[in-house]
Structure 1
């Protein structure tokens, strides 16, 4: 299967879209870290910004949660390492909120 041919303008638009998405995800992580957003609020967001974020990245943005605790919690809850937020089922979301009640 051949890749589509993109014009320079198409590439620039895609690049800008990617930059905006990364900035939005960074703002969400900063808000989580500062405590202005809760985990429940982030999981309930209807936009696609958070959906593309890896669950591990989301958890490490919580205050007091580092890479080791995030990995252990994901393993204990049965969430695969590479799972993105949009791929979480309702049971997994509920388990995350139970695991991190102070962030909910």
Structure 2
């Protein structure tokens, strides 16, 4: 069934919301890359922004993990390439945290809005 046609105003509002969501996901990944946030912090979040990140992209944001290594890890853990963080099972989350335990110097709590 096709989507109903949107008015120009509704389309612009939908685009604004989509850009804001993408920006929020990018900020989360940036926090991981910079070391200000840990994998545990992302996996424990219960919001849409963290949940909609592809697991592959999340792993690639970790230090010294590239495309090949992230795919290998996901295959070993039985995680589909298209799986998002919100779709990970309890055991898959536990095994990821075993592989990538939070470091003492990494933050395990959410960065404040001023830090993002």
Residue 95 of structure 2 corresponds to residue 95 of structure 1: yes
Query: Could you state the TM-score of these two structures normalised by the residue count of structure 1?
Result: 0.94
Aligned to 2:113: none
CA distance in 2, matches of 1:3, 1:23: 25
**Which deviations, in whole Å up to 9, do the C-alpha atoms of 1:52-99 show, x marking residues without a partner?**
111000000011111111000000000011001110011111011112
Distance in 2 between residues matched to 1:23 and 1:73, nearest whole Å: 27
Question: What residue is the counterpart of 1:8 in the other structure?
Answer: 8
Deviation, 1:102, is 5.0
Runs of 5+ unmatched residues, structure 2 = 109-116
Q: Which protein has the bigger helix share?
A: 1
Partners of 2:40 and 2:102 within 8 A in 1 = no
Do the aligned partners of 1:73 and 1:99 also contact (CA within 8 Å) in 2?
no
Matches within 5 A, 1:60-99: 60-99=60-99
Tell me if the contact between 2:43 and 2:85 (Cα under 8 Å) persists in the aligned partners.
yes
2:29 corresponds to: 29
CA offsets 1:25-76 (integer angstroms, 9 cap, x no match)? 1111111011100000111112110111110000000111111110000000
* 8 Å CA contact 1:51, 1:84 repeated in 2: yes
Q: Which runs of 5+ in 1 are unaligned?
A: none
Work out the CA distance in 2 between the residues paired with 1:2 and 1:73: 38
Q: Which has the higher contact order (CA 8 A, sep 6+)?
A: 2
